[in-house]
Amino acid sequence: MLIETSEKRLIIDPFLTGNPSAPVSAEELPKIDYVLVTHGHGDHIGDTVEIAKKHGSTVISTAEICTYLEGKHELSVHPMHIGGSFKFDFGKLKLTPAFHGSSVYEDGEIIYGGMPAGFLVESEEKKVYHAGDTGLTVEMGLLEYENIDVAFLPIGGNYVMDIDDALRAASFIAPKKIVPIHYNTWPVIDADIDEFKSKCEEMGIEYQIMNPGDWLDL
Ligand code: NI
């Protein structure tokens, strides 16, 4: 996911090469200032190394993932941890808890990746929550105090929340709008988007369906 503020460009979990839904290739990306990585899985670290090297981007992630990316790939990193926040030149970023794994799988080995995260990005008086890969957590209830404009929530099930849990998350978080993510890329995370829409409408939850390559103005 690409976020543009008036001055900076951030990309979250840039899985482009090998992603059947990728709208652009890594080479086609405009200048990226920061790469944010929620967790160590290959479909999230994705093209982080290539992008960060090409653009001289700073990678922001958990301390473990940053240690791996800095040590193994010599990237410039800004390590953080769950619950921590920091004011960057694009705005304020807080790492939120996610229920998931975070290991890096490389050369037949699993490398410990610490805890997986979500991101709360606050810039130019707008707040966006990207849940990352996660199941439903009670901690999401704390986000109600953040007055979030848009929450990006996984709905694909199996590895992450399904539609019903995502809607429970939406009622905890009470954002102005939700955007469903992490579904229909692979068969095991198929989600019925019509079911999602009708349940949102029943519950009075504002939503927006985004297709790969779409932009959302805030
Ligand atoms: Ni994952």
Give residue 110 CA to ligand 1 midpoint distance, Å: 14
Ligand 1 centroid, distance to 182 Cα (angstroms)? 10
CA distance 119 to 81: 11
**How many angstroms separate the alpha carbon of residue 207 from the centre of ligand 1?**
24
Query: 162 C-alpha to center of ligand 1: Å?
Result: 14
User: For residue range 180-189, what is the model confidence (pLDDT) as tens digits?
Assistant: 999 887 777 8
The DSSP bridge pattern shows strands 2-4 and 9-12 to be antiparallel
Residue 21: predicted pLDDT: 85
**Alpha carbon of 179 to ligand 1 centroid (Å):** 18
Compute, in angstroms, the gap from residue 5 CA to the centroid of ligand 1.
26
* Ligand 1 centroid distance, CA of 6 (Å): 30
State the pLDDT at residue 187.
75
DSSP 142: G
pLDDT at 190: 85
Output the tens digit of pLDDT for each of the chain's 218 residues.
Answer: 999 998 899 999 999 999 988 989 999 999 999 999 999 999 999 999 999 999 999 999 999 999 999 999 999 999 999 999 999 999 999 999 999 999 999 999 999 999 999 999 999 899 999 999 999 999 999 999 999 999 999 999 999 999 999 999 999 999 999 999 998 877 778 889 999 999 999 999 999 999 988 999 99
pTM over 0.85: yes
User: Quick count: other Cβ atoms within 10 Å of Cβ 136?
Assistant: 20
Report the alpha-carbon distance of residue 217 to residue 171 in Å, rounded.
23
Instruction: Give distance in angstroms: CA of 65 to centre of ligand 1.
Output: 13
Q: Are 182 and 150 in contact (CB under 8 A)?
A: no
Residue 106: CA count within 13 A, CB half-sphere: 14
Tens-place pLDDT, residues 121-160: 999 899 999 999 999 999 999 999 999 999 999 999 999 9
Both tokens assigned to 136:
């439903």
At residue 38, the pLDDT reads 98
- Cα 117 to ligand 1 centre (Å): 10
CA trace torsion 130, 134, 140, 143 (10° rounding): -10
